[in-house]
């Protein structure tokens, strides 16, 4: 387990003595590891493992890592030293910090086997992100990387995005929970414009606002690779939400979009409805908890009246009431070519008129599952993690 010797994003003067002691302990631990490396009788539980487990390449990587740990006064992460040729490296919640990230970065460039790198919640901050960015830009094997909850900041986001743009091998990126604001949005927009190999991007649980939406919308319109985007739990609203929705209308690659827990409201819902009229690719859309009233639901329904690709629509926890739900359902009823499989109206009060219309719609679309508060049967179809419906009104 790696130890951050300088706190989350900087050195604390109050902990200087503890830091010296930890550094001494780290040096002692490292000396033992190096001694084990030079010995001939190393057991299978040691850092370096046996010759049968590690080839020459792995031993070189381990040596680089150990020397880097010594240079940055951090304790080596034993799971990295046991990595061998395993394709997944999970170091989440290890407290690496900037120092541990710098030590790890040098070893990552010499490991050709790691495909999935998980560094969630390690307090990397800008310095750690910069070190890892250099490694990511050079890696030919890593295709998935999770940098969520790492206090990246604007500077960290900039260097990470720049690294991703020069490495087409990376296809999935998680940047959730990094408090990213509009200052970081310009770099995210550049990433969407430049990285055609990126397939999945998670920007959830950040602070991207309407200004960010105005930057990301045009970039989404021009993006030519992304198939999954999670931007839930942000602050997209007003003109930013409208701009983002217009980008969706022009996009021809995105299949899964989660914009739940934002503030799209009726203007944003209307813009999404217009996007659904022209978008012929999107299959799954989550718009739950977006302050959409009955008026916005009617506008959204106009897109559903003609759309022929959307399979899943989640509009739960919106103040659209039964009238809004009825409007959406009537639009679906008028679209005999609709491929919808799930309509989720959870946490919205509906009345008997809605229930009667739902029964009529199911005659036309027998494969459609309509989920309400009165859920009776689990929705069986396998969905992506961002949706996870639990109950439905399917008979």
CA–CA gap between residue 53 and residue 62 (Å, rounded)? 13
Instruction: For the beta carbon of residue 41, count every other beta carbon within 10 angstroms.
Output: 6
- Range with lowest mean pLDDT among 266-280, 336-350, 361-375: 361-375
pLDDT interval class at 332 (50, 70, 90): very high
β-bridge mates for residue 116, sequence order: 88, 144
| pLDDT value of residue 84 | 84
Residue with more model confidence, 61 or 39: 61
Question: Which residues, in sequence order, are CB contacts of 395 under 8 Å at separation 6+?
Answer: 362, 376, 377
What number is the average pLDDT over the span 197-211?
97
- The answer, yes or no, to whether residue 258 has pLDDT greater than 60, is yes
Instruction: Please list the alpha-helical segments (H only) found in 251-293.
Output: 265-278
Question: Can you give the pLDDT at residue 106?
Answer: 84
Query: What is the average pLDDT score of the chain?
Result: 84
| 38 or 156, greater pLDDT | 156
Q: Is the dihedral of CA 216, 221, 225, 227 positive or negative?
A: positive
- What's the confidence (pLDDT) of residue 395? 40
Q: Both ends of the chain: CA-CA distance in Å?
A: 51
- Place 109 in a pLDDT band, splitting at 50, 70 and 90: confident
By 3-state DSSP, what share of the chain in percent is helix, strand and coil, each rounded to 5? 45, 10, 45
Least confident range from 15-29, 182-196, 294-308: namely: 15-29
For range 18-31, the mean pLDDT: 39
Q: Is 241's pLDDT higher than 80?
A: yes
pLDDT value at residue 7: 44
9 or 13, which is more confident? 9
Does residue 31 register a pLDDT over 50? no
- Residue 243, classified by CB atoms within 10 Å of its CB into exposed (0-12), middle (13-18) or buried (19+), is buried
Sheet containing 116-118: which strands, arranged edge to edge?
A: 88-90, 116-118, 144-146, 172-174, 200-202, 228-230, 256-258, 284-286, 312-314, 342-344, 369-371
What is the tally of helices (H) and strands (E) in the chain? 13, 11
Average pLDDT over residues 105-124: 93
The DSSP secondary-structure symbol of 15 reads G
Domains in the chain (CATH in brackets) are 180-371 (3.80.10.10)
């Amino acid at each position: 387990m790696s130890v951050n010797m300088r706190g989350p994003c900087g050195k604390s003067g109050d902990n200087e003595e503890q830091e010296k002691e930890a550094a001494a302990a780290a040096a002692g631990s490292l000396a033992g590891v190096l001694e084990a490396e030079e010995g001939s009788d190393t057991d299978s539980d040691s850092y370096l493992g046996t010759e049968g487990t590690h080839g020459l390449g792995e031993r070189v990587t381990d040596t680089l890592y150990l020397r880097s740990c010594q240079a940055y006064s951090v304790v080596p992460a034993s799971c990295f030293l046991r990595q061998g040729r395993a394709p997944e490296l999970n170091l989440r919640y290890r407290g690496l910090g900037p120092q541990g990230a710098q030590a790890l970065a040098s070893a990552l460039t010499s490991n050709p086997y790691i495909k999935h790198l998980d560094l969630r919640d390690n307090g990397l901050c800008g310095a750690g992100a910069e070190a890892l960015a250099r490694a990511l830009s050079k890696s030919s094997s890593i295709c998935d990387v999770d940098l969520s909850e790492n206090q990246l900041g604007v500077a960290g986001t900039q260097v990470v995005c720049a690294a991703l743009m020069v490495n087409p091998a990376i296809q999935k990126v998680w940047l959730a929970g990094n408090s990213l604001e509009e200052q970081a949005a310009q770099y995210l927009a550049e990433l969407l414009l430049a990285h055609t190999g990126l397939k999945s991007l998670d920007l959830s649980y950040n602070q991207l606002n309407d200004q960010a939406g105005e930057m990301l919308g045009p970039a989404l319109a021009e993006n030519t690779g992304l198939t999954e985007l999670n931007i839930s739990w942000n602050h997209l609203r007003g003109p930013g939400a409208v701009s983002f929705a217009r980008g969706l209308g022009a996009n021809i690659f995105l299949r899964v979009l989660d914009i739940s827990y934002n503030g799209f409201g009726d203007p944003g819902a209307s813009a999404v409805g217009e996007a659904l009229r022209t978008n012929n690719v999107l299959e799954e859309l989550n718009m739950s908890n977006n302050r959409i009233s009955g008026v916005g639901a009617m506008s959204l329904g106009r897109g559903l009246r003609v759309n022929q690709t959307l399979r899943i629509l989640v509009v739960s926890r919106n103040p659209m009431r039964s009238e809004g739900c009825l409007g959406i359902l009537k639009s679906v009823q008028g679209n005999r070519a609709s491929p919808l499989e799930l309509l989720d109206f959870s946490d919205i009060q509906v009345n008997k008129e809605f229930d009667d219309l739902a029964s009529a719609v199911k005659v036309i679309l027998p494969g459609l599952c309509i989920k309400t508060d009165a859920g009776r049967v689990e929705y069986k179809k396998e969905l992506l993690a961002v949706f996870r419906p639990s109950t439905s009104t399917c008979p």
